[in-house]
Every structure is written in structure tokens, then in C-alpha cells.
Structure 1
Amino acid sequence: MVGRAPRAVVADDSHFMRSVISDILDEGGIEVIAQARNGVEAVEAVREHDPDVVTMDVEMPEMNGIDATARIMDVHPTPVLMLSAHTDENADVTFEALDKGAVDFFTKPGGEVSMEMSRLKDQLVEMVTSVAEVDVAGSGRQSTAQSGSGGQRSDTQRSDGTHEDGRSYVDNPTLVVGSSTGGPKMVEKTLASLPLAADLRVLVIQHMPEGFTGRFAERIDARSDYEVREATDGGRLGGGEAMIAAGDRHMVVKNYRNGRLRVKLNQDPPVNSVRPAVDVTMESAASTIDDPLVGVILTGMGEDGAEGIRAIKAAGGHTIAQDEATSAVYGMPKRAVETGCVDSVLPIDDIASGILDTITTQVT
């Protein structure tokens, strides 16, 4: 794709939406080489035209977007961006599509669709362009659903202070994780690999719209030993618990004492063009928490999190970024690394152990 415009297939059962999306992509420099009215046509279009990216509606006749995505990943792996309506039901099926291999999703606006899509056109073009660059060939569709123990694992502390995993941990550590495009599966994988014995307080900022973050929290809760919930204004967080930043709300660490922190949510202007912003949470954590602090930046487009990493490093915390090879989009991690404040750059499979290394006092 180097040196040429991305080539896209647009799949939607609405002729109007196909036209609107195609016009926006064409105007944004993305060549729409085919349109599909349903999942069957989408799969055939991918086979015939070998596009760089597919925009996939969720609900379509004959074959829905979930099944079409799974089929595409089987017969002709191609980056897929789901276009989802803003409803609870669509939130559930959208996450199922991510399990089937879709890279990320973009929420269709309600109301006056053509006007709203026009308002969001720059964001859509940027996301489609980023998703088109993702290498999905050979990546498979391994779900993280089995990677965690679903809260069933127990841990006992030995007489020497170490746990069953052979590690002894610092007291009261806090972890702040930021991610964007391609991030949901990476966040799930990381949190599912963290043992409850580490007793982390975990704050996650995933660029995701309102209405989806609650479902996202429920999914991670089912896959992790940690108690995971969507953040609420004034919510408190202790060891073994995790909060997911609520869509369209910045999450600020307001106070911290005795190993428990409290967050406030606000709708202040977007930072780095996003809300929630990773920088907001990381910077507030760095200025408020005086116990061990770890900051992690995972895959995503843009530069959100770079200043937060600076702040955590300046406060004496540890910092980690996902490497380019395993990032769907090496934007946020790259910007973080460029600050010179990242301690470790690791593949996604090593992120959890890298986090544990920063809070381990003894290994047997």
C-alpha cells in the first residue's frame, strides 16, 4: 500500500449509508473499489478485489457483519472496521466482531445521519486509513476469552512473603493503561494475565464511545481475576480492582490515601482530540499517588498518553510501551517512546510480565 491510496470495500445494507460512507472516504483520499449490500457480497468483494480495508455494517441480511468478518479472516485476511449503531445490543455484537478478527469499530451517528457523518468525516477517514495499515494476515482470531481464569484462581502467600507465582510484590501499586485503535483485545489480554496476588489498582483509558465502555468492563471482568467495572463519578478503587474510563468522560484521580484512590469524571474539553484522554488520567495519577506507579501505552493512533508517560516518569514511576510489531497502530506507543521516558518497549505477550517485573521485590 506504500505510495498509493488505501483501497476500501464498503459493506452496508442501506444504499444511502453506502453512498454517504463511500463519498466521505473518496473525498478523504481513500479509493472505494466496491460496495456490498450484505455479508455474502462483502466476502465475495474481498476475494475479487483484494482491498486494504473493509468497513462492515453489523446488521445485514443473508450474512451479518460478524459472520462476514469471520469468513473474511478465514478465506482472505483483510483489516475490518466495524460500523456499529449506538445501542446496547450493537455494543454486544460489536465486541463479538472484534473477537472474530475485526480491528476496531466506529459508531454510526443517529439523528440526521448525513449531517452527522459529515461532521465526523475526518475521524472516519483517519480511522479507516489507520486500520488499512494493520497486518492481519496470519494473526488468526484467537479470542482472549480463554486466556484469563475468570476470577477462579486463588493465591496463597508463603511464609517467606512470596506467592504461588514465586514473586513478592511491593505494597499498594497502581497501574494506568492507555490504548486506542486495536486496543480492546490488547487490554483484555493484559489484564487477563495479571495475578490477583499483585494487588494492583488498575485504571484503563480506552478510546471508546459512551455506551460501549460498560460492556467493555463486563467483558474484561469475565476474563480477569480482577474486579473490573466502568468508572463512576466519585468511584473508589482498592487493590485487586480495575476501572474502565467511561465513554465521553475524562477520568481524573482526585485523591489517594491508605491504598485507595478516588476518581472524578468530567466533560471538560477533549485533550488530544479525545475524551476520555489518557494524558488526563496519567497526569492526575502522577501528581496524586505517592505509592508505586506504572504507566503503559498500548496500540492506538495519535499522541495521547505521551505527556502522561512524561508525568509518570517524572514522578518516579515505571513506564512501558507496546512494540511496533504487535501494535495494530504504532501511533501512541511511538509518541510515548519518542519522549525518552519509556523504560521498556515490549511485545503484547510480554506486557503483563513487564508490569509485574516493575513491582516485584523478590523472585524465588
Structure 2
Amino acid sequence: MRNPRTVVVDDSRFMRGLITDLLDDGGIPVVGEAKDGQEALEVIADEQPDVVTMDLEMPRMNGIEAVERIMAENPTPVLMLSAYTDDDAEVTFEALEKGAVDFFAKPGGEVSMEVSRLGDQLIETIRTVADADLEQANRAERSATAAGAAAATTATPSAASTPSGEAFDDTRTVVIGSSTGGPNAVETVLSELPGGDCRVLIVQHMPEAFTSRFATRLDEATRAYDVQEATDGARIGAGEALVAKGGKHMEITGYRSGRIRVGLIDDDLGHSVMPAVNVTMESAAETITDPLTGVILTGMGADGADGICAIQDAGGPTIAQDEDSCVIYGMPKRAVEAGCIDTVCPLDDVAATIRELV
């Protein structure tokens, strides 16, 4: 198991010491510390670490500015450390757009107790981030930005009719699962999907405080789909998308007259992540009778492999992002190894593949 050399950046001496102790206990060497972004640039240049943990709000130079400078001057995988607040959620997404690979949510309250409790998860995340493809992390952001600009200026055909005026018989349901590197990848795909021709369910591994803002950002990035965070009992039809709420599973509880109803589950159901892609995909395969497609994008772990197999078993075509375009080739790899993927393609071709199905 890799133990990446790490630099810890935080304006709190207490937090720097706490994170350093947690990483030391997990066998991950901390080769440097910094109290702000400016100092971080110097430490990173001297130590050449494998990964950096980066606080958001700091004096002199904040986390976003530091990430942008790091990517320009000394590209290094960065894990953002973010608090559970709406403001931090927005800033965290900005950091991801600047090239940060992933983020780890710092709980409030008794910080030392909470972070200690999540120490194993922090260590696992740092190891994953250290192995990220930085070129793809930055490329995904550029692709998402370009796709969003195109969506904002290009009219999209209505789902109600084809150019010849013939009505569509069916609307395709697309279930997308992703984790590390997923926010930009999901935005790229959703921005290029045919407007109104699909119902879209999105399961991104993300804490509760961040999924609402993620849904808002997706909604702002595309004119073709109305995107909202899932609520218990929510329904969607053609041209609409739901983002699974963090900290809960999203299952399809009903399907009638072309509209899907979802339910939220508080029980972890034995899954290590909430929301889990498997829960949504398996319930979709069981409930939806119209055309159904499963998509697995970049991310760590094995979540989604069972779900994508359920969709394939139900007769739905399945798609996985290829290794070269993934930030982390974990979830797609496990899905491919399970033998349940019909098409493997680069991120930029995922939406086109779905369009062909529609």
C-alpha cells in the first residue's frame, strides 16, 4: 500500500498538528507544513510531495489561489479540507475547477474527535488523491467549462418531437454514478445530453452539505435539463434530473406515466458510501420498464459494479468512462472487470454514445 509524502496546509496550528498525527498513525509521512498558501508554495517547491492537503480560508493566500498557483508552477495532487457550510461548499467547487482532485469534509463541533473518527477515511482519500491523473483532473474542468458555454448558446431540440414532427414513443432514463473527479465529469456529460430526451439520475459520492450546491451548479451549466437535489417522494420526467442527496441512498420507488418517483433511505444498507450508486441502479433496473442506460464515470472503489450489472441484466445498455480520461480509474475498472459494460469510451464521447441510443 502506497504511503504518499504529504504536505499539510492549514492556518490552524492545532489542525495541522491533528492531521499530521492522524497521517503519521496511518503510516503516511508528512514532509512539510504550511500556515497559508504562500508558504505552501515554498514548501511544495522544496519538498516535491506526492499530495497536499489544503485548507480553504487562510491569510495572505487562500486555498483557491494556492491551488491555481500549484497547478501552474508545480503540479501536485491537492485534497481540499472543507467545513460543512454552504459558503465552503461553493468555494470547494471553485477549488475543484482550479484543479484540486477531491475534498474531505471537516465536521464542525468537537473537531478533534470528529476528524479522529474519520481518520481512516482521510488516509484512504489521501492515498487515492496521490494516484490521481492530474492531466485529466484539469482537462475535465476545461471540458466542463467548454460544454457549459456551448449549452448556454446552443438551442436544444425539444423532446416532444423530432425534426419531422413525429412524437417520441419513449424517454430514456440515464443513471450516472461517479466519485473522485466526478463533479466536472458529470457536468461534461449532462451539458452535452440531448435536451428533454432523457430523465437523468445522478449519484455522486458527496457529503450532504455539498449535494445541493452541486445540483445548482449542474442546473446553471446546462439549459437542457432542470436539475435539483433529490427529496423524498420527488418525481421527474423528460428534461429533468435529480442529484442524490448526500448522506442518504436514493431509490426508485415508483414509475408511472413517464415519471419516476424516488425515495430517500437513511439506513446504510451495508454500503460503505451514502449515497451508493448500486442502490439507485438496482432499483432502477427493477422498476423502470422504458429504455434505461447505466453510466459509470471516474471514481475510486467498487460502488456501481453490481448496479450496472443489474441494468445490463434488465436489457439496458451500459457505458463506462475509459482509463485514459479518468481522474481515478477505480469504479469504471471494477464495472468492466465484472463483465457488465457494453461500451467503454472517453469522457467526451459518453454523451454522444447516449445520444446514439436516444
Q: TM-score range by the shorter chain?
A: over 0.9
- 1:49 lines up with 2:51 in the alignment: no
Question: 1:113-137 deviations in whole A, cap 9, x for unaligned?
Answer: 1111111011101111000001215
Letter matched to residue 272 of structure 1: H
Letter matched to residue 79 of structure 2: L
- 1:295 lines up with 2:283 in the alignment: no
Question: 1:315-342 deviations in whole A, cap 9, x for unaligned?
Answer: 0001111111111111111111111111
Partner of 1:342: 341
SS at match of 1:192: helix
Question: 1:231-285 deviations in whole A, cap 9, x for unaligned?
Answer: 0110000000000001111101001111111001110125430111100000000
Partner of 2:308: 309
Partner of 1:329: 328
Alpha-carbon spacing, 1:158–1:44, altered in 2? closer, same or farther (3 Å): same
Q: How high is the sequence identity, in percent, across the aligned residues? A: 58
Question: 1:164-184 deviations in whole A, cap 9, x for unaligned?
Answer: xxxx97621100000111111
TM-score by length of 2: 0.94
239-248 vs 320-329, which moves further: 320-329
Distance 1:169 1:6 in 2: 52
Alpha-carbon spacing, 1:170–1:350, altered in 2? closer, same or farther (3 Å): farther
Distance 2:3 2:103 in 1: 21
Partner of 2:239: 240
Distance 2:163 2:213 in 1: 40
- 1:211 lines up with 2:209 in the alignment: yes
Letter matched to residue 325 of structure 2: T
Question: 1:67-88 deviations in whole A, cap 9, x for unaligned?
Answer: 0000001101111110001100
- 1:256 lines up with 2:255 in the alignment: yes
60-69 vs 103-112, which moves further: 103-112
- 1:267 lines up with 2:269 in the alignment: no
Distance 2:304 2:270 in 1: 10
Greater fraction helix: 2
Distance 1:60 1:302 in 2: 32
- 1:191 lines up with 2:193 in the alignment: no
Distance 1:4 1:171 in 2: 48
User: Equivalent of 2:157, from 151, 155, 160?
Assistant: 155
Aligned ranges for residues 8-19 of structure 1 at < 5 Å? 8-19=6-17
Question: 1:281-317 deviations in whole A, cap 9, x for unaligned?
Answer: 0000000000000001111111110110111011000
Paired residues, number? 351
Q: CA RMSD in A?
A: 1.8
Distance 2:184 2:327 in 1: 10
Structure 1: unaligned runs, 5 residues or longer: 163-167, 360-364
Letter matched to residue 265 of structure 1: L
Distance 1:311 1:169 in 2: 26
SS at match of 1:246: coil
Aligned residues of 2:218 and 2:227 also touching (Cα < 8 A)? yes
Aligned ranges for residues 39-118 of structure 1 at < 5 Å? 39-118=37-116
Partner of 1:131: 129
Alpha-carbon spacing, 1:143–1:92, altered in 2? closer, same or farther (3 Å): farther
Q: Structure 1: which 4+ aligned runs deviate by more than 6 Å?
A: none
- 1:182 lines up with 2:184 in the alignment: no
Partner of 1:362: none
Question: 1:174-224 deviations in whole A, cap 9, x for unaligned?
Answer: 000001111111111110111205x10000000100111010000000111
Distance 2:108 2:93 in 1: 20
